[in-house]
Structure 1
C-alpha cells in the first residue's frame, strides 16, 4: 500500500488531502508511524523521531495513529487478495507476498492479476497500491518500490540480470550499513560488481551468508510464499516521557506484561504456547538491550511473566544511574501446546 496509514487518514478526512500528513503523536518521545507523500518531499520518513519531522516540515499536520482503523482496512485488502490465491504471506498491515502461479480467477498472467488486485483495492477502499511482479519473492519486493505511488513494475525471467546489475548492493535483502561498508572495502558498490566477485571468496570471507549474497546477485531465491507464518514473539513496549532508572521500571514492566500476556493467550487459542521471556530496554542514548530466559517450566500466569521480566533486570550490566527511554516485555520460543505437555509429562515421570 502507498503511505498506508497516512493515506487512510487523508481518505477519511478530506481536509487533509494534498497536505503533508505525519501519523504520529507530537513530542520528543514519539516516532513517525507514516508520512504522506507530501510530507516525504521534506525528508520526513517512517521511524524518524517526531520532533525531527516537525523541524523538517513545520507545516506538517500531525495525526495520532488509529491502528484499529488501519487493521480493518488491512483485512478488507486481504479479502481482495484471497479472491485470487490462497498463497498469501503478510509482512505487515500494508504489505504481503502473493504466489499467483495458479490463481483462482483464471487471469492469464501474474501481471494481469496484479492489475486486477490494484483496481479492486482502488474501487473498494479508495486507496492506491503498488505492485512488483517477478519470478521470486526478493525480486518482487524490490520491484514493488520502482513505480510508487500507484504503480506496477514487472521483472520477467529473461530480464532478471539486467534489472539487478546496476542496483546498489544495499538493495539486496540483509545488506545493511555494516555489510555495505564491508562490501565497499572490497570495491563492491553494485549488485553487478558483487556478482563478478568470486563466489568462493565471498563464502570464504562471509561464510554461508557470502554464498547467499552471490545467489541473490544472480536473482536466485528459492524461498516459497508461506501463508500463515507462525508467530515468533508477542510483546508490548512503551517509551517514557522522561528517562527512568532500572530500579524505577517495575510498575511499567508489570503493566506491559499484562498486554503481552493477553496477546499470548490469543495465540494459545491456536494451540501454541511460549517458553521464553524477553525484556527489552533502550538506553537514553538509543542503544537497545535485550535479556531473555527460558525457565524449566514455561510462564503459566501474567504474574509469573512479570516476575521473570523484572528479575531479568539483574542481568543488565550497566551503571546503576543509567537511564532508559523504553522498556518492552515479550514472550518467544513458541511451541505446540500438546507436544509441550507431552514433554512435561515425560520428564515428570
Structure 2
C-alpha cells in the first residue's frame, strides 16, 4: 500500500465504526432516529444543550450504548488477539481461544450457573463473570505448564496440542454437569453463555472491556516489527535481533489474559478472531503495523452489527451472538480453506 493508504483506510474504518454504532443505537423494539441518538450522546457529553425525551435518553444512554460499546470492544479485542496468534504460531487456523481460554472460562461460568453457587462473595451475573475469568486463567496456566519445554521454551505445536487436550477435558466436565443437573432453565442459560452475549453488559463492565481492548491494541501494535519478523520463521527472526522466546511468551500470555477478560464478560464468541485478520490481510497486506489496528476496527464493526442482528432478528427473543458470527464467518472460512487448497 502507498504511504497514505493505511491512514486513509484507518480513517474509513473509524468512520464506519462510528456510523455503525450510531445506527445500531437506534435499532431495537423501540426505534430511535439517528438524529435523536446523536442528540442524546452530545447532551450526555455536555457538548451543547439538546432537546431529548426522557424515553430516548433512557433507551440510548442507559440501555443500548453500554451494550454497543461493549460489543465493539469485544470484537476489537478478539480480532487483534487473533491476528497476533496467527502470526506468532504461523497457523492460519489460530484464534484467541487457542490456549483453551473459552473452555476454561466455561468451566467456571457453568459451575456457577448450574449449581447456583456464589463465587468470591458475588452472586448472579457478577459471580458468573468472576468464575469465568478464574476458569480461563486456570486453563491458561495448565496449557502453558503442559506446553513448556525443558528449557522453558514455548513451541507453537505443543501449545496447540495442549490447548486441544485441556479444551476437551473442560468440555467433558461442562457437558456432564449440564446433563446431570436436569434443570432446563440452567441448560438454556449455559447454552446462551457458551454461544456468547453482550446483553448483560452495563456501563461498568462495558467501560472495563473497552479499556482492555484499547490498551491491548496499543501494546500489541508496539510489537508489530517483531511479528513481521516471525513471518519468515524463527531462525530469520533471531537473525533480525528478535528475542524469540521472550516475545512469544509475552505475546501468548498477554493475548490470553486479554481474551480471558473478554470471554468472562461476553462468553465465547466464535469466528471474529479467526476471520477478521484474514479479511484485513486481503485488504491491506501483511504488515502488522496496519493489520493490527485495522483488525481491531473491523472486528468492532463486525460485532456491533452481529449484536444488532442478534437482538433484532426475532421479535421478543434474542439470538446468541455466536450464532450470527458463525453464519457470517463459516462461509468465509470455507472459502478461505478452498482458496488455500488451490494455492497449495
The structure with the largest strand share of the pair is: 1
For the superposition of Structure 1 and Structure 2, which TM-score range results when normalised by the shorter chain? under 0.3
The one of the two structures with greater contact order (alpha-carbon pairs below 8 A, sep at least 6) is 2
TM (normalized to structure 1)? 0.25
The structure with the largest helix share of the pair is: 2
Larger Rg: 1
